[in-house]
């Protein structure tokens, strides 16, 4: 029986977890989310208007229990970076078999990636592009390219299938105005379904890194065709500051320096 840990219960995250808990091999989920449901969330969220003003997390727990009564749910109502909750978050992740990231702010994605790496947990990330024109689904595995490697690759190559891209749709939370058009519920559900499938692959022990982009619309100058999967061959960036410097190496820098200084001073007879 598997334990899934997920951060984010926005429109995408709620749909992903809704699909996943119907697989009875998942016996336990830990959910991390700090927000209340707001009226503007309703057009894209599974939760109904009765839940407006209430905790997304507690409303989600009720929703999920209705669908899988035997599911054990651990709720952590907090931002991922909340210093007071780090012990609880680490404990939950340590006990988990795989993770799902469904947040849209970059800082939280990097933080999640770091937590997953520290505990050696495979995880998936879904990203709906602005305007719902398509979306990415990534699977990260221990020892493989990390989220920073993927970002660095995407900035270099771009996600497009045509050469002249203007707005940076590779960054779903980017600053380009065109990149902030809300996605439709249908687009969010489409990418959430693919995200859930990629996560179920982990459950089936298909633990391989992968990243792909699925255009959901034909967009002049961006995607020449809709529904044509674009495989993104992210490789490990040997200069990645995140995954190519182990935490031990960083922690040992001082020790190494002291050792070297000692050797030098010994050698010089000081």
| Binding interface with Zn ion (CB under 5 A) | 146, 148-149, 240, 242-243
Nearest residue (CB) to Zn ion, 29 versus 116: 116
Nearest residue (CB) to Zn ion, 47 versus 148: 148
- What is the rounded CA–CA span in Å between residue 51 and residue 72? 22
- What is the rounded CA–CA span in Å between residue 225 and residue 188? 19
Nearest residue (CB) to Zn ion, 149 versus 232: 149
Closest approach of Zn ion to the CB of residue 151, in Å: 9
Closest approach of Zn ion to the CB of residue 234, in Å: 9
Closest approach of Zn ion to the CB of residue 195, in Å: 21
Output the CA angle 96-188-186, nearest 5 degrees: 140
Closest approach of Zn ion to the CB of residue 156, in Å: 14
> Do 248 and 181 touch, CB atoms closer than 8 A?
no
Closest approach of Zn ion to the CB of residue 145, in Å: 6
Nearest residue (CB) to Zn ion, 32 versus 243: 243
Sequence-separated (6 or more) residues with CB below 8 Å from residue 180: 130, 174
Q: Which two three-digit tokens encode residue 31?
A: 């959910």
Nearest residue (CB) to Zn ion, 241 versus 264: 241
DSSP state of 172: T
Closest approach of Zn ion to the CB of residue 104, in Å: 20
C-alpha dihedral, 188 to 193 to 197 to 203, nearest 10°: 90
Helix H, strand E, coil C: the string for 192-257 is HHHHHHHHHHHHCCCCCCEEEEEECCCECCCECCCCCCEECCCCCCCCCCCCCCCHHHHHHHHHHH
Closest approach of Zn ion to the CB of residue 111, in Å: 14
- What is the rounded CA–CA span in Å between residue 43 and residue 242? 37
Ranked by CB distance to Zn ion, the top (closest) residue is 240
Nearest residue (CB) to Zn ion, 20 versus 115: 115
Nearest residue (CB) to Zn ion, 5 versus 148: 148
> Do 44 and 182 touch, CB atoms closer than 8 A?
yes
- What is the rounded CA–CA span in Å between residue 150 and residue 232? 9
Nearest residue (CB) to Zn ion, 131 versus 144: 144
Closest approach of Zn ion to the CB of residue 175, in Å: 23
Output the CA angle 23-27-32, nearest 5 degrees: 100
């Amino acid at each position: 029986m598997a334990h899934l840990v997920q951060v984010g219960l926005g429109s995408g995250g709620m749909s992903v977890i809704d699909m996943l808990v119907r697989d009875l091999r998942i016996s336990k989920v830990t959910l991390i989310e700090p927000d209340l449901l707001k009226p503007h969330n309703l057009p894209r969220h599974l939760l109904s208007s009765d839940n407006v003003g209430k905790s997304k997390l507690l409303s989600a727990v009720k929703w999920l229990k209705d669908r899988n009564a035997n599911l054990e749910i651990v709720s952590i109502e907090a931002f991922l970076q909340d210093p007071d909750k780090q012990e609880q978050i680490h404990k939950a992740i340590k006990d988990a078999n795989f993770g799902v990231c469904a947040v849209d702010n970059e800082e939280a994605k990097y933080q999640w990636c770091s937590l997953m790496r520290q505990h050696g947990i495979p995880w998936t990330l879904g990203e709906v592009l602005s305007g719902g024109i398509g979306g990415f689904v990534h699977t990260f595995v221990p020892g493989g390219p990390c989220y920073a490697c993927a970002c660095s690759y995407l900035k270099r190559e771009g996600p497009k299938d045509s050469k002249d891209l203007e707005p940076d749709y590779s960054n779903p939370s980017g600053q380009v105005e065109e990149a902030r058009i809300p996605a439709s519920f249908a687009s969010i559900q489409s990418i959430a379904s693919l995200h859930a499938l990629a996560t179920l692959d982990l459950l089936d022990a298909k633990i391989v890194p992968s990243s792909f982009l699925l255009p959901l619309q034909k967009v002049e100058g961006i995607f020449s065709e809709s529904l044509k999967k674009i495989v993104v061959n992210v490789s490990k960036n040997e200069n990645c500051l995140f995954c190519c410097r182990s935490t031990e190496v960083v922690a040992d820098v001082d020790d190494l320096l002291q050792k070297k200084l000692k050797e030098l001073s010994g050698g010089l007879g000081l």
